[in-house]
């Protein structure tokens, strides 16, 4: 702050004021006589005048150009932000269209009576193991019905409001349903294991079990039809000393990104 009280600042401010006055007079055409006189002056005098005026002119031209560059950069940043936002929306539409094509491909050949639903959000009250759907009792949704995606069981309805419903995901630790091995018809349970996907449990030790076998619903629960795909047998989780055989169940469904599902009537 002391600089503004110094002699150097006074000289700088006086020069700046003089330049501003000269620019104003030039725009009004009042310096034309002076300019003509300077042009007709001897070369040494003209050189001195040019040496004084040129830096001043360069300063103002540079200041104007810098201001213009700043404005252009601001405009470019706004355009880049808009383009990035459009790219995000475009990628989202591609993903949604791909998911919808997969669902419609299954529906085309399915004989099940299905209610198409869109995922509104995850249920915030039960962490991430439940979905809120945009279909409800007015659409024929009832508690206990199976929820599928691309033909695979992904959950079941736990609450049906008039226009919305809640679906418990099959990977939730609270989920369980009757199941069977399609190769042997041996019955078991398919249970969710939060953080570990699905598990085939309660299979008798005397039953054969091999990796890659298909796991489907057994149809014991009347609300969940028979032969809905659950997944295929993965790694063994039990040993010969356990009372029952247990194995992981591998599903091709991405439970974290379910956008379109069907409720089975």
Q: Which domains does the chain have, with CATH numbers?
A: 112-265 (2.40.10.340)
Out of 37-41, 102-106, 215-219, pick the least confident: 37-41
Residue 53: pLDDT band (50, 70, 90) is: low
pLDDT band of 233, cuts 50, 70, 90: very high
Looking at residue 103, what is its pLDDT?
58
**263 compared with 94, residue with greater pLDDT:** 263
User: Does the pLDDT of residue 70 top 90, yes or no?
Assistant: no
Give me the pLDDT at residue 69, please.
81
Share of the chain above pLDDT 70, in %: 63
pLDDT average, residue stretch 221-246: 92
The residue that leads in pLDDT, 260 or 127, is: 260
Average pLDDT of 213-218? 96
173 in Cβ contact with 193 (< 8 Å): yes
Dihedral, CA atoms, 63, 65, 68, 73, nearest 10 degrees?
-110
Please give the angle made by the CA atoms of 157, 178 and 133, to the nearest 5 degrees: 15
Report the alpha-carbon distance of residue 173 to residue 197 in Å, rounded.
9
- Which whole number is the average pLDDT over 139-159? 95
Q: Tell me the pLDDT of the chain averaged across its residues.
A: 79
CB 225 within 8 A of CB 146: yes
Does position 225 have pLDDT exceeding 80, yes or no?
A: yes
Q: Quote the pLDDT of residue 175.
A: 95
Of the CA atoms within 13 Å of residue 20, those in its CB half-sphere come to 6
> What are the residues whose beta carbons fall under 8 Å from the beta carbon of 177, sequence distance 6 or more?
153, 156, 170, 189, 190, 217, 221, 224, 230
Percent of the chain with pLDDT over 90: 45
Alpha helix ranges (H) inside 191-238: none
Most confident among 89-93, 162-166, 255-259 (mean pLDDT) = 162-166
pLDDT of residue 71: 76
Q: What is the mean pLDDT of residues 122-129?
A: 60
- Confidence at residue 248, expressed as pLDDT on a 0 to 100 scale: 95
Handedness of CA 248, 252, 256, 258 (dihedral sign): negative
Please tell me the predicted confidence (pLDDT) of residue 35: 59
Q: Which residues are bridge partners to 160 per DSSP?
A: 165
Query: For the residues 130-141, what does the mean pLDDT come to?
Result: 95
Comparing 243 with 67, the larger pLDDT belongs to 243
Position 228 pLDDT exceeds 50: yes
**The pLDDT value given to residue 3:** 46
d(C-alpha 265, C-alpha 140), whole Å: 7
Residue 169: which of 189, 149, 185 has the closest Cα? Answer: 149
Give the HSE-up count for residue 138: Cα atoms under 13 Å, Cβ half-sphere.
Answer: 7
Residue 169 near residue 155, CB atoms below 8 Å: yes
């Amino acid at each position: 702050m002391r600089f503004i009280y110094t002699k150097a600042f006074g000289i700088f401010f006086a020069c700046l004021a003089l330049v501003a006055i000269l620019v104003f007079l030039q725009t009004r055409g009042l310096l034309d006589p002076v300019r003509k006189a300077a042009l007709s002056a001897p070369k040494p005098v003209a050189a001195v005048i040019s040496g004084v005026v040129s830096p001043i002119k360069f300063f103002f031209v540079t200041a104007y150009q810098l201001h213009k560059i700043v404005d252009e950069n601001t405009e470019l940043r706004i355009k880049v932000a808009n383009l990035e936002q459009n790219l995000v929306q475009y990628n989202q539409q591609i993903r949604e269209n791909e998911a919808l094509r997969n669902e419609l491909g299954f529906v085309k050949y399915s004989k099940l009576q299905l209610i198409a639903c869109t995922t509104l959000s995850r249920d915030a009250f039960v962490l991430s193991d439940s979905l809120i759907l945009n279909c409800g009792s007015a659409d024929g949704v009832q508690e206990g019905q199976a929820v599928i995606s691309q033909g695979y069981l992904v959950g079941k309805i736990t609450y049906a409001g008039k226009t919305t419903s809640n679906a418990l995901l099959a990977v939730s630790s609270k989920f369980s349903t009757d199941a069977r091995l399609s190769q042997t018809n041996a019955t078991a349970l398919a249970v969710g294991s939060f953080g570990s996907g699905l598990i085939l449990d309660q299979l008798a030790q005397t039953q054969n079990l091999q990796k890659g076998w298909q796991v489907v619903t057994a149809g014991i629960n009347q609300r969940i039809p028979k032969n809905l795909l659950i997944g295929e047998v993965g790694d063994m989780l039990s040993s010969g000393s356990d009372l029952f055989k247990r194995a992981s169940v591998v599903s091709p469904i991405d439970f974290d990104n379910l956008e379109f599902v069907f409720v089975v009537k």
